[in-house]
């Protein structure tokens, strides 16, 4: 990573980030002028970082997109997902190989590298990990985060990971383990509202503020460890429809003074393409 982009990544991590997921990137970016449309969407919605899905062995369209977004000072993180790669073994090894592939991509594109890696790992979806209070998998997941972080930072990239609210309901030790594993986490704060629930915009915004504040307080309660992760709050289109931009702005307005709040993230660009 060039010094300029490494500094930009650090600045993004220090301020409030405004992110956007882009899934199935190879398919989306195949359309004519798709990259330009993505850039204009980001500009119109004050989005300053994009999580671009990084396909195994098929990233030929990504370098021009990274370059285009960087020209507008938009950070780009390589998005990796898995439901069962958290534990040591062949599946985690495959995930590590994919991270190494991103490191290699950056070596091949030193002037326009990925600024970070964005993880969408979901071990909580495995049958043995379901159920309220079931966080037995968390120590292993935190260990995986640390291994991935070391590999990413060797390539001068940051790491961010999506988490459900279940992870923040753990014990003091479990929360310390989670929050010390990575510099950034993104809380998927879903299903608080729906477009047809009959509530007004102000009522939806009030509920969102209360729940976001509650989970941030829950996450850091009793913790005074330095260098804990900051948490961004992610909202999704199906929950708010056309009100989503207003809800994201309401988050910043309500809790930007919280030192643990890292900004917001929009899930996802693909939903907007299908509207």
Tell me what pLDDT residue 86 has: 64
In the three-class reduction of DSSP (H, G, I as helix; E, B as strand; rest coil), residue 46 is classed as: coil
Non-local CB neighbours of 158 within 8 Å, separated by 6+ positions: 9, 10, 13, 77, 115, 116, 117, 152, 183, 184
Task: Kindly report the CATH number assigned to the domain that includes residue 151.
Answer: 3.20.20.80
Tell me what pLDDT residue 12 has: 44
pTM: 0.93
Q: Which residue has the tokens 């309500």?
A: 254
Domain assignment of residue 177, given as a range:
3-273
Task: Check pLDDT > 80 for residue 85.
Answer: no
Q: How many angstroms separate the CA atoms of 17 and 2, rounded?
A: 21
Q: How many angstroms separate the CA atoms of 213 and 200, rounded?
A: 20
pLDDT tens-digit readout, 243-255: 999 999 999 999 9
Q: How many angstroms separate the CA atoms of 56 and 231, rounded?
A: 28
Q: Which of 73-87, 93-107, 144-158 has the lowest mean pLDDT?
A: 73-87
Q: Which residue has the higher pLDDT, 275 or 32?
A: 32
Q: State the pLDDT confidence band at 229, using cuts at 50, 70 and 90.
A: very high
Number of domains in the chain: 1
Q: With contact defined as beta carbons under 8 Å apart, do 58 and 27 qualify? A: no
Q: With contact defined as beta carbons under 8 Å apart, do 110 and 2 qualify? A: yes
Tell me what pLDDT residue 117 has: 98
Q: State the pLDDT confidence band at 61, using cuts at 50, 70 and 90.
A: confident
Q: How many angstroms separate the CA atoms of 238 and 196, rounded?
A: 10
Percent of the chain with pLDDT over 70: 93
pLDDT tens-digit readout, 165-219: 999 999 999 999 999 999 999 999 999 999 999 999 999 999 999 999 999 999 9
Share the mean pLDDT of the chain: 92
Task: Check pLDDT > 80 for residue 60.
Answer: no
Tell me what pLDDT residue 59 has: 72
């Amino acid at each position: 990573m060039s010094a300029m982009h490494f500094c930009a990544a650090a600045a993004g991590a220090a301020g409030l980030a405004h992110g956007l997921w882009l899934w199935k990137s190879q398919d989306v970016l195949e359309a004519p002028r798709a990259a330009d449309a993505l850039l204009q969407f980001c500009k119109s919605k004050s989005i300053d970082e994009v999580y671009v899905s990084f396909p195994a062995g098929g990233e030929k369209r990504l370098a021009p997109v990274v370059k285009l977004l960087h020209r507008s000072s938009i950070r780009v993180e390589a998005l990796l997902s898995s439901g069962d790669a958290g534990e040591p073994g062949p599946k985690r090894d495959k995930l590590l190989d994919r991270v190494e592939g991103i490191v290699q991509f950056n070596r091949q594109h030193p002037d326009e590298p990925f600024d970070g890696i964005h993880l969408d790992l979901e071990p909580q979806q495995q049958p043995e990990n379901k159920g309220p209070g079931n966080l037995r998998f968390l120590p292993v997941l935190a260990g995986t985060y640390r291994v991935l972080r070391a590999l990413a930072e060797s390539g001068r990239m940051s790491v961010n990971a999506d988490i459900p609210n279940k992870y923040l309901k753990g014990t003091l030790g479990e929360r310390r383990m989670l929050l010390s594993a990575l510099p950034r986490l993104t809380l998927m704060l879903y299903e608080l509202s729906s477009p047809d629930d009959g509530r007004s915009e102000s009522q939806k915004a009030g509920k969102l503020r209360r729940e976001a504040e509650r989970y941030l307080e829950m996450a850091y309660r009793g913790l005074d460890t330095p260098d804990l992760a900051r948490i961004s709050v992610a909202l999704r289109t199906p929950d708010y429809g056309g009100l989503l931009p207003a809800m994201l702005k309401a988050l910043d307005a309500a809790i930007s003074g919280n030192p643990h709040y890292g900004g917001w993230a929009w899930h996802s660009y693909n939903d907007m393409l299908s509207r």
